[in-house]
Amino acid sequence: MIKYTFLRFVKKLKHEKYLLFSIFIVLCTLLLFINVGTYGVVESSDARYAEISREMLESGDYIHPTLLNIQHYHKPPLTYQLTALGYQIFGVNELGARFFLQLSLLIQLLLVYALSNILFGNRGTALWAAIIYFSFPLTLISTRNLTTDSFLATFVLLSIYSWVKYRKYGKFRYLYLTAISLALGFYTKGPVVLLLPLVFIIAYNRIEKSKNRFGVHHLLSLVVFLGISLWWFVFLIRENGAFADYFLGRQTVERFGKDVFNRSEPFWYFVAFAPLVGLPWLLILPYLMVQNRKSILKKGINSVLTLSFVIPLVFFSISTSKRILYILPFYSILAMLTANLLANLISSKEKVIDRSVTIFSMIVLLVATATMFIHTNYVIPKGVGIASILLIVVILAIYRYLQGGRKFKPVLVSFLVSGFLLITSGLLMQKNELEFNISRPISNFIKSKNLQDRNILIYNTMKPSIAFDMRKPVISLYDGSNTLAREVQFEENSAWKSYFYDLTDSIDTNRLKGLMERPSVLVSYKHPLPENRQWLAKRFSTRKDIGKWHIYY
C-alpha cells in the first residue's frame, strides 16, 4: 500500500503543474523558516500570546490560560496549546513560538491549491491562486505575528474545502471533516469562525446540488461539532456559572457592539486598509471584476466567491472591534477569485495586469535600493539594496525572455517580491528590535548586568515580552494605564496580587514599598517616572536609558 501511494505521488509530480506546485511549496517553506526565530517577540499580540503559552507550559495547566500570572480567558486555548507544543519541540524561544504559524500557512497554501483545482478544474489556475495568496502582505504578516488569526484561517479553509468535496461527491467523511474543522475554528476563536463558511455554503449550495438527503450523518456531524467546539466553555461554566455571562456577553455581544478592549475603528477601516495589505492584487481585483462582470453577476462560482467575502466584510465593518488580521480568512477567497478572473481575462487586457504588477514591484525594489544611499534611523544591511538591484534585473529578464503564458509572469513576479519582503522584514526587525517594539535588548541588558534574579517591576504598562525574554514572572505597577486593566473576577485567591500592584491604592503602595526592600529592577516605557512617582526612582542608584526605555537598578 505504501509503495503504491508513493508511486502514485511520483506519477503526479511528473505532471508539470504538480511539479511547479511542489517547487513552490519548497520555496515557501524555505522563505518562511529562514529567519523566523532571529528576532524577539513583538508587542503587543505576538508577545502576549507567546507569554501566555509559556506560562501554560510552565504551569502544566492547559485549560486555564494566564497572562502575567492572572487568568486570561479572552480566547479559547487552542492557539496557546499549539504554541506550548512548539516550545516542547524547539524550546521556549521565538522559533518555538512561531513554528506552527509557518506550518499553518503551508497548510493553507495546500488547501487553496486543492480547493481551486476542484472549483475551477484547472491546475494552472489553482497554482496561480496559491501564489497570489502567498503574495498578499497580510498573509505574510500573519506568519510573523502570533495570534489566533492564521489558525482560524486554516480551519475556515479546511471547512470550505471539506464542504465542497462533500457536496460534489456525497461522501460522508467530508461532512464530518467539515464539522471537525469548524469545531476546531470555534475552539480557536469562538463563533466568528462560522460567518464566512456559512455564507459560502449557502451560496455554493445554489450551484451544487446535494447528493444526499438530510439524515443521521448530518445529526451526528452536528453532535461532533458541538462536542469539540463547546467542551472547554462547558467545562469552565460548570466550574463557575459566571463564565456563561462572560463568554456570551463580554466576549461576544460587547466585542461586537462596544469598544471593550480599545479596538474601536470607523466603519470604513477595512475598506480602506484591506487593499493596502493585499497589494498589488487587491488593487487589480476591481479591474478584473469589471472585465468579468457577467460571470460575477450570473449564478456561478465567481458570484459565490464574491458573496463569500462581501457579506462577511460588511458584518466586520459594522462590528466595533476591528484589527486588520480579523479579515485574514477572506484573503484565500480573494486569491481564488483573482486567479480565476485572471485566467479568463481576454488577452487584449493583459497589459494592464503586467504594468500594474511591474510598477508596484519596481516601486518596492527602488525604495529598497535607495536605502544604500540615504540615511535613516534604521539599521539596513547593504545586502538589502544589492538584492533589490539583482531582483530588478531578474524581473526585467522574466518579462523579456521567459517563454510561456503572459498571465503567469505577473504572478511569478509578485511571488518574488513577496519573498524578498519576507526576508527583508526579518532582517530589519532583527537589526532594529527597539524600533519595532521588541524589548529583547532591554532583557539582554538586564541579563548582562546579572540582574535577572531580581524582581522585575514594569511601571504602568503591560509588557509580556519582558516576561517571555526573562523566562520568569514580572510585576506590573498599575498607575491608570488602560493596558493594565486586568480581569480578576475569576481569581480563586489573592496570589495574583504578588504580580500586580495598584499605585492608586494606598494598601498596594505600602505592599510595594515592602517588596522593594529586596533587590529589584524598575523599568518604565516611553516616559520617565512622573513627579509623584519619583519615590520609586530614589530607591535605585543607577538609571540606564535605552531608546524609549528607562531602567532603574
Q: What is the pLDDT of residues 244-253, one digit of tens each?
A: 999 987 777 6
Q: Which of these ranges, 208-212, 267-271, 348-352, has the smallest mean pLDDT?
A: 348-352
Separation CA 39–CA 54 (nearest Å)? 17
pLDDT digits (tens, 9 = 90+) for 446-476: 999 999 999 999 999 999 999 999 999 999 9
C-alpha 424/C-alpha 430 separation (Å) is 10
Strand partners, 476: 458, 500
The C-alpha cell that represents 214 in the structure block: 438530510
Q: Note the pLDDT of residue 10.
A: 47
pLDDT band, residue 169 (cuts 50/70/90): very high
pLDDT in tens, 231-246: 999 999 999 999 999 9
Q: Per-domain residue ranges for the chain? A: 1-30, 73-257+267-343, 347-430, 440-552
Q: Nearest Cα to 390, choosing from 411, 365, 372, 426? A: 365
Question: What is the Cα–Cα distance from 521 to 470, expressed in whole angstroms?
Answer: 12
Q: Are 483 and 261 in contact (CB under 8 A)?
A: no
Nearest to 333 by CA among 273, 256, 274: 274
In order, the DSSP letters of 407-436 are THHHHHHHHHHHHHHHHHHHHHHHH-TGGG
Q: How far is CA 136 from CA 143, 293, 332, 354, in A?
A: 12, 23, 10, 17
Average pLDDT of the segment spanning 6-33: 77
Q: CB-hemisphere CA count at 13 Å for 553?
A: 19
The pLDDT of residue 207: 96
Query: What percent of the chain is modeled with pLDDT above 70?
Result: 95
CA atoms within 13 A on the CB side of 240: 11
Give the pLDDT mean for 429-434: 97
Ordered DSSP codes for 100-147: HHHHHHHHHHHHHHHHHHHHHS-HHHHHHHHHHHHH-HHHHHHHHS-S
DSSP, res 247 = I
Q: What is the mean pLDDT of the chain?
A: 94
Please tell me whether the overall predicted TM-score, pTM, comes out greater than 0.85 for this model.
yes
| Range name among 8-17, 107-116, 167-176 with the lowest pLDDT average | 8-17
- State percent of the chain over pLDDT 90: 89
- Residue 321: what pLDDT? 87
> Is it the case that residue 259 has pLDDT exceeding 80?
no
DSSP conformational letter for 476: E
Grid cell for residue 97: 513560538
Task: Say what angle helices 172-189 and 78-90 make with each other, to 10 degrees.
Answer: 90
**Which candidate, 516, 543, 514, 515, places its Cα nearest to that of 529?**
543
How is residue 38 written as a grid cell?
A: 532571529
CA dihedral of residues 373, 375, 381, 382 (deg, nearest 10): 10
pLDDT at 431 over 60: yes
Burial of residue 434 (number of CB atoms within 10 Å: 0-12, 13-18, 19+): middle
